[in-house]
Structure 1
Amino acid sequence: MIMQGVIKQIFVDNWEKFSEIYKGKIRANISREVDKMINCKSLDNGFIEFKCENCGHIKRVGFSCKSRFCTSCGKKKSEEWSDEMVARLINSKHRHMVFTIPQELRIYFARDRKLLSLLPKCSAKAIMSWFRDLNKKECFTPGIISVIHTFGRDLKWNPHVHLIVTEGGAGEITIWRNTKHINYTALRKRWQKILLDEIGINLKSGKKEFKKLKNKLYKRLENGFYVYGKGEIKTAKQAGKYVGRYTARPAIAESRIIKYDGKKVTFRYERHEDGEEVVEEIDVIDFIGRVIRHIPEKNFKMIRYYGIYAKNTRHKNKFFKLVNEKVAEFKRKINNWQTRILLTFGVNPLKCEKCGTQMKFHDIYYKNVSVREKFKEKIIGENKIKIEEIMYNYGVIKGIIRDKIEPLYV
């Protein structure tokens, strides 16, 4: 069985070598995210200190890196996003859709990563235009949550977008209309045209070559680009399952890595075409290259909201939620380090190893400096003048200081 933290170990062992091989070719954000992941929970970067009031035992927990790239922090972030998205869903059936692109287009998104924002934008536009065409007067608006993925199951570059879409929309007159049938043939053609037009507009160079490719794709793919949409979501439990699986998670889970011997990495994945399990062994440097390729640019939003799920929509508070708001709030409150470990492993991390007493928060350290001591110094400094003033007033009242002016500050 593969050890926990194997991905981090792979980078600890090989990142320096990889950086030397590809010097000058690594995006700045990749270096930042990898360094954060390698130093995740290192006590050198600071820690929280817990203390047992019964026996005095101290436990120190290093700060997490909070990077989406880190398998530990990324998983936590993915779960938080999943809960947040499910809490947004209205009490309606939803459909899970996947909008894909042909292989010839993948290189454009690799060269210019800003183009990735076109995937959710254009797929949402295709869906919303189809809904609105159902009734021009009503102009029905669905709810859409989209998640950009750049990786396939084999970790190769394969940009596509996953969407959670309401099976219905809010109209200008009618409050809500359910839509049982979605015309995927129409969606594929709309998706193809809207995306190709937007790529052509946003390309910085090579527009002539792209125009030729565009014509070839129209001829070869007469039915449009492939759109999958058979995943039906009826309950909050199903929503959590779908959203949790496809939200902005790390490119590979540690459970998929079978073996790492220092030179080679063996991992498994389920082939999309036939559901068969494939085991692949690759050089560790190649593995690192495949994984880091999917690190997004700094502040790039992998999750986007459209239609009635957009932030500033007039439909925001019209509908009942799929998940009760009190339940969603409770989940947010219990989503902390201690509770997650307790629920996952059945172990209370704050139970004293020496005497079994519940440990309490004691201090925070940044760069080996105690926050408790800093606060003490600050409070003492701020109150020193007040103490001197009080002492002087006390002396006057008691008659110790008479008939002369004493300075308040020395």
Structure 2
Amino acid sequence: MGLAGAAHSSHEGHRYERHRPEETVLYRVVAAHWQSFRERVETIGPLPRFVVREVEEYLRCGILEYGFIRVACEGCGFERLVSFSCKRRGFCPSCLGRRMSDGAVHLTEHVLPEVPIRQWVCSLPWGLRTLVGYDRELCAEVVRAFVEELLRSLRRRAKHLFGLASVEHVFAGAVTFIQRFDSALRLNVHVHTLALDGIYVRDDTTGEPAFRALPAPTAGEVYEIAERTAKRVVATLKKRGRSVDGLCDEGNTSEDFDPALAACYGAAARAPALRVVERDRTRDDERMAVVMGFDVHAGAAIDGRDRKRVERLCRYLARPPIAQERLVEVAGGKLRYELKKVWRDGTRFVVFEPHEFLARVCAMIPPPRFHMIRFHGVLAPNAALRSHVVAAARPSALAGESTPATL
């Protein structure tokens, strides 16, 4: 029985429904305004090829006239048309939603062990966000600086807490998600890291790693991570001949990349000019530190044995940038986007002109050949202890089946 036949014969289970992007607000806006937006922005300079390809492939995603396959049930002859998808990773809600679901399941069932896990967030100065949004090498160095300082802090804390002679046999691990957006669809490159909330210590006799949980970090320890990260990134920028004077300036752009894309990045980094404010809000005190515009926040630890919660967290961190259900058209052809949470000043909605919205869409598209999910420490692909650590997350390991050393 083919795919369509299976879906047709299952009356009570999940039923396949063709993706219909042409009925969504996002697709209609992109289709209606893309050409005029491109002509307008390319008076400054041409848009990079990877941006143009991302948008134009999205306009073909799920549309039958651009290609499909026909699947049929060999038994009853029932047929169904399945349109081709773009399989892009910039902003397509359908393809990124599938990638999100598959990635969350993979991380939960094959990577993250059943130990406490804490989410860490590192936000960057506004000017630096535009630079790392385009410069993938600089972005990798910034991510490496933060994660290495985080894992260093975990190892040092373990050394003092457990009275270890050195950190030579102390191992930490983490998975990092790089996000390019915030709830207002601004260009806001920041880092979410799921760090194992403890360390592995290799047994001197057997050589097997044993996990030891750590207490929650203090405010001083969070500040130290933020300070050391800021100093490392500033030093990296100076080596590259960049000035750090304007790192905290919102909308600061670089002259090193395409003028048209720089204009999009500059527009996308700014807060929307039009906002809808409901009422004042305050937030609770959090374990966080801000140093030179680098904002580091340590969230609450979760129990790694709660695999449903771990999967939900991974799905949240790998989610598509645009939530289509929160995007609506309003009077005058403008677009209103509802924030996930009300801002502290009471802002509930942001409103865009179509071209302003498309500038933000272009800024969401990551540079080619750049990994948005990265693995560190004992969870890194080449880590010697990785097979021992990730085996704890694999259902096959519980059944006694052999597991490969790497994923």
Q: Do the two structures share a fold, i.e. TM-score over 0.5?
A: yes
Residue of structure 1 in register with 2:151 after alignment: 128
Residue of structure 2 in register with 1:192 after alignment: 227
2-side partners of 1:179 and 1:236: how far apart? 20
Note the C-alpha offset of 1:321.
Answer: 2.4
Structure 1 gaps of 5+ residues are: 329-410
**Could you report, residue by residue, the CA deviation over 1:362-387 in whole angstroms, capped at 9, with x for unpaired residues?**
xxxxxxxxxxxxxxxxxxxxxxxxxx
Change (3 A) 1:221 1:85: closer
1-side partners of 2:247 and 2:348: how far apart? 33
Q: 5 Å matches for 1:9-408?
A: 9-23=28-42, 24-52=45-73, 58-68=79-89, 69-87=91-109, 88-110=111-133, 112-134=135-157, 135=159, 137-139=166-168, 140-173=170-203, 175-201=210-236, 206-207=241-242, 209-210=243-244, 212=245, 225-234=294-303, 235-247=306-318, 249-259=319-329, 263-271=333-341, 273-274=343-344, 278-319=348-389, 321-322=392-393, 324-325=395-396
1-side partners of 2:238 and 2:187: how far apart? 19
Note the C-alpha offset of 1:121.
Answer: 1.2
Contact 1:41 1:63 in 2 (8 A): yes
Give the alignment's Cα RMSD to 1 decimal. 3.2
2-side partners of 1:113 and 1:29: how far apart? 14
Contact 2:126 2:247 in 1 (8 A): no
**Could you report, residue by residue, the CA deviation over 1:299-342 in whole angstroms, capped at 9, with x for unpaired residues?**
210100001111111222324524624899xxxxxxxxxxxxxx
Residue of structure 1 in register with 2:261 after alignment: none
Note the C-alpha offset of 1:225.
Answer: 3.2
SS in 2 for 1:290: helix
2-side partners of 1:245 and 1:52: how far apart? 36
**Number of residue-to-residue matches in the alignment:** 321
2-side partners of 1:199 and 1:302: how far apart? 23
TM-score by length of 2: 0.70
Code of the residue aligned with 1:239 in structure 2: it is V
**Could you report, residue by residue, the CA deviation over 1:217-249 in whole angstroms, capped at 9, with x for unpaired residues?**
xxx9569832222232211111111111011x3
Contact 2:63 2:84 in 1 (8 A): yes
Note the C-alpha offset of 1:120.
Answer: 2.6
Change (3 A) 1:327 1:293: farther
Residue of structure 1 in register with 2:6 after alignment: none
- Higher mean alpha-carbon deviation, 92-101 vs 39-48, is at 39-48
Contact 2:375 2:381 in 1 (8 A): yes
Code of the residue aligned with 1:38 in structure 2: it is L
SS in 2 for 1:180: coil
1-side partners of 2:300 and 2:374: how far apart? 20
Code of the residue aligned with 1:125 in structure 2: it is E
Note the C-alpha offset of 1:4.
Answer: 4.9
SS in 2 for 1:171: strand
1-side partners of 2:350 and 2:22: how far apart? 18
Change (3 A) 1:58 1:317: closer
Residue of structure 2 in register with 1:368 after alignment: none
Change (3 A) 1:150 1:95: same
Change (3 A) 1:195 1:25: farther
1-side partners of 2:375 and 2:27: how far apart? 32
1-side partners of 2:355 and 2:299: how far apart? 37
Structure 2 gaps of 5+ residues are: 1-20, 160-164, 204-208, 250-288, 400-407
- Higher mean alpha-carbon deviation, 276-285 vs 300-309, is at 276-285
Change (3 A) 1:295 1:160: same
Change (3 A) 1:285 1:324: same
Contact 1:96 1:242 in 2 (8 A): no
2-side partners of 1:252 and 1:4: how far apart? 16
Change (3 A) 1:19 1:230: same
2-side partners of 1:8 and 1:196: how far apart? 43
2-side partners of 1:278 and 1:236: how far apart? 33
Contact 1:271 1:278 in 2 (8 A): yes
SS in 1 for 2:386: coil
Change (3 A) 1:197 1:138: closer
Code of the residue aligned with 1:75 in structure 2: it is G
Note the C-alpha offset of 1:142.
Answer: 1.7
Contact 1:13 1:262 in 2 (8 A): no
Change (3 A) 1:275 1:313: farther
2-side partners of 1:200 and 1:245: how far apart? 33
Note the C-alpha offset of 1:258.
Answer: 2.8
2-side partners of 1:259 and 1:29: how far apart? 28
- Segments of 4+ in structure 1 off by > 6 A? none
1-side partners of 2:27 and 2:231: how far apart? 39
Code of the residue aligned with 2:189 in structure 1: it is P
